[in-house]
Chain A
Amino acid sequence: MPDKKKTDQGRYRALAFVKGESLAKEKDSLVSEDELETWPYLLRKEFLAAIIVMIGLMIWSITLDAPLEEPSDPSLTPNPAKAPWYFLGLQEMLVYFDPWIAGVVFPSLIVMGLMVIPYIDINPKGNGYYTFKERKFAITTFCFGFHVLWILLIIVGVFMRGPGWLWFWPWEEWDSHRIVAETNYDLTQFIGIDSKSLLGSIIGGGIVSIYFFLGLTVPYLLMKMKNSLVLEKLGIIRYSIVAFLFWSMLGLPIKMVLKLVFSLKYIWVTPWFNI
């Protein structure tokens, strides 16, 4: 135990090690049974993890060389030209949506959506432990978005897409002359209305609006009818954000099904943008 002594400046030095209960933290004596010293119990694991990662990365780097293709040539476009693998989920979306949605709006919504999660998930349960029962909606939604829409689309983009962004199984040889004749239709063309006409545009816009309108109001009314506590706690602003993000996310698989099953190209055509 160091001696208490007056320093030249006449000040006291704060020393950390005094036996007995801590003044700084009232409940220290209560939680101390629940604590471990960082050294060695945490730090040794961190160092061990660092060593394992370093060895793994070393082996990976010795056995596998980083790719280096021919010198860049702006006049020679590879087919397919793929973005880095971690963006291939977004590139895969280009099959179903125009670039302004797949490349700009959806990424922005993903980032903003992730950031607002703590503020719209007001469920106090499941804080710091694993549970599915206590937060079914949150986990299901997140895992669907992360594993299916993000990871699975990346896998499709990396392994299944060949020349012309056509589907090739990994064991299939890429045939750059393969042509798939498909005619895509805009939604209003199914009922015989030109999608580029004013009427077609209004119908298309109406359908998109109705999609979000119903998406926001129907669950609201259902929950209201059940006197849902969750809805009461959420409040109208949080509820609207949750519902908007949720239905925007589901817009992707819905459009995928429509495109793949019904060859649908656009739901809403305007002179400025198409959805």
Chain B
Amino acid sequence: MSDKKGKDKLNIRELIKAKGILGAIKDLMLSSQVWSSFFRHGLEDTPKTRMQTVISNSFLHLHPAKVKRHAPLFKFTWCMGGITFFTFLILTITGVFLMFYYHPNVRDAYWDMKGLEYHVPFGLLLRNLHRWGAHLMVITVWFHMFRVFMTGSYKPPREFNWGIGVVLLVFTLLLSFTGYLLPWDQLGFWAVTVGTNMARATPGLGHEGPFGELLGMTAYNDVRFALLGGSMVGGNALLRAYIWHCIGLPLIVSAFLIVHFWRIRKDGGISGKL
């Protein structure tokens, strides 16, 4: 035991002599158990480490180690799917920060917006990032769908994933729509009033829709009432929008995203001829 210790010390001295103090620290760090438990492969640029970089990282290994030569071409992907996912991540992060400063009740909601503007450090920037990021996500989702259509990438074997994509498109719009109400200003209030008024006209399920009255629908038991938790946009609607926006819809979207990404790989990778 003591022998080994002496040997180690000698090595360190030699190491410092050979590589200098910084070089020795770097060497020791890279060969330590802690480092090699974090990173399973070296840093030299070889085909092997290139592939290890991807498959030994839990986030990067969403990708296969190798992709088809044309897959990274901009003209095939327009980067739209990836950018959409990236905006989703930005929105999740800024959204969590916004939740720290927001009370989902009629009395506080609007003044929390003012608070973000005047009292919270970078609060306005945070809200701006979240708001414009949401608009960007809606736009990029549409462009993503358009690109996938134009390259015919919904054709077999990707039919199912196109369906998942349509679901994600709808949920993106719903996420944006539920978020619209939360500032509790005139803009959001009336936009959501106009939007949910449509639900009144649902055939059979809304009290103003075809056959709604025949089936016993009133303003107090139809589908709009279920959405708003009341017959008009009020405190309950704000709370429901908040919970759908921050918990319900993101969870659902995440589940579909997992399937969407997994299926991309199973169905032959991103873009291009199969």
Chain A residues in 8 Å Cβ range of B180: 84
Q: How far is the CB of A270 from chain B (nearest CB, A)?
A: 8
Known: A70-B186, A71-B110, A272-B214. A39 touches B201 (CB 8 A): no
Q: Is the CB of B155 within 8 A of A81?
A: no
Q: Is the CB of B195 within 8 A of A53?
A: no
Q: Is the CB of A91 within 8 A of B194?
A: yes
Q: Is the CB of B83 within 8 A of A53?
A: yes
Q: Is the CB of A115 within 8 A of B163?
A: yes
Q: Is the CB of A128 within 8 A of B151?
A: yes
Q: Is the CB of B191 within 8 A of A82?
A: yes
Q: Is the CB of A104 within 8 A of B194?
A: no
* Chain A count of residues within 8 A CB distance of the other chain: 77
Known: A41-B67, A83-B191. A66 touches B131 (CB 8 A): yes
Q: Is the CB of A72 within 8 A of B194?
A: no
Query: Is A218 in the interface zone, CB < 8 Å from B?
Result: no
Query: Is A119 in the interface zone, CB < 8 Å from B?
Result: yes
Identity of the chain B residue whose Cβ is nearest the Cβ of A42 in the assembled complex: B72
CB-contact partner of B163 in A38, A118, A135, under 8 A: A118
Chain A residues in 8 Å Cβ range of B79: 45-46, 49
* Chain B count of residues within 8 A CB distance of the other chain: 95
Identity of the chain A residue whose Cβ is nearest the Cβ of B197 in the assembled complex: A99
Stretch at the interface among A54-62, A242-250, A259-267: A54-62
Chain B residues in 8 Å Cβ range of A102: 198
Identity of the chain B residue whose Cβ is nearest the Cβ of A58 in the assembled complex: B129
CA distance A50 to B87 in the complex (A): 9
CA distance A120 to B52 in the complex (A): 41
Query: Is B29 in the interface zone, CB < 8 Å from A?
Result: no
Known: A35-B68, A39-B53, A103-B201. A54 touches B90 (CB 8 A): yes
Stretch at the interface among B11-19, B31-39, B120-128, B253-261: B120-128
Residue with the highest number of chain A CB atoms closer than 10 Å, among B72, B163, B176? B72
CA distance A77 to B177 in the complex (A): 19
Q: Is the CB of A117 within 8 A of B162?
A: yes
Q: Is the CB of A111 within 8 A of B203?
A: no
Stretch at the interface among B20-28, B132-140, B239-247: B132-140
Q: Is the CB of A62 within 8 A of B125?
A: yes
Known: A35-B68, A126-B155, A128-B152. A65 touches B272 (CB 8 A): no
Q: Is the CB of B128 within 8 A of A65?
A: yes
Chain B residues in 8 Å Cβ range of A142: 149
Q: Is the CB of A39 within 8 A of B203?
A: no
Chain A residues in 8 Å Cβ range of B53: 39
**What would 28 A/B residue contacts be, using CB atoms closer than 8 Å?**
A39-B51, A41-B72, A50-B82, A53-B86, A53-B136, A57-B87, A57-B132, A61-B125, A64-B132, A65-B128, A66-B130, A68-B185, A72-B188, A82-B191, A85-B135, A103-B201, A104-B199, A104-B202, A105-B203, A114-B166, A114-B169, A115-B166, A117-B154, A121-B155, A125-B152, A128-B155, A128-B274, A142-B149
B interface residues (Cβ-Cβ under 8 A, vs A):
47-48, 50-55, 60, 63-69, 71-72, 74, 79, 82-83, 86-87, 90, 110, 113-114, 117, 124-125, 127-133, 135-136, 138, 142, 145-146, 149-156, 158-159, 162-163, 166, 169-170, 173, 176-177, 180, 183-191, 193-195, 197-203, 206, 208-211, 214, 232-234, 271-274
- Top 9 nearest A-B pairs by Cβ distance? A103-B198, A118-B159, A72-B189, A99-B201, A273-B210, A61-B128, A66-B131, A128-B273, A126-B152
Contacts A37-B51, A64-B132, A100-B201 given; 9 further ones with Cβ under 8 A? Answer: A38-B54, A53-B83, A68-B117, A74-B189, A100-B203, A100-B209, A115-B166, A127-B155, A273-B210
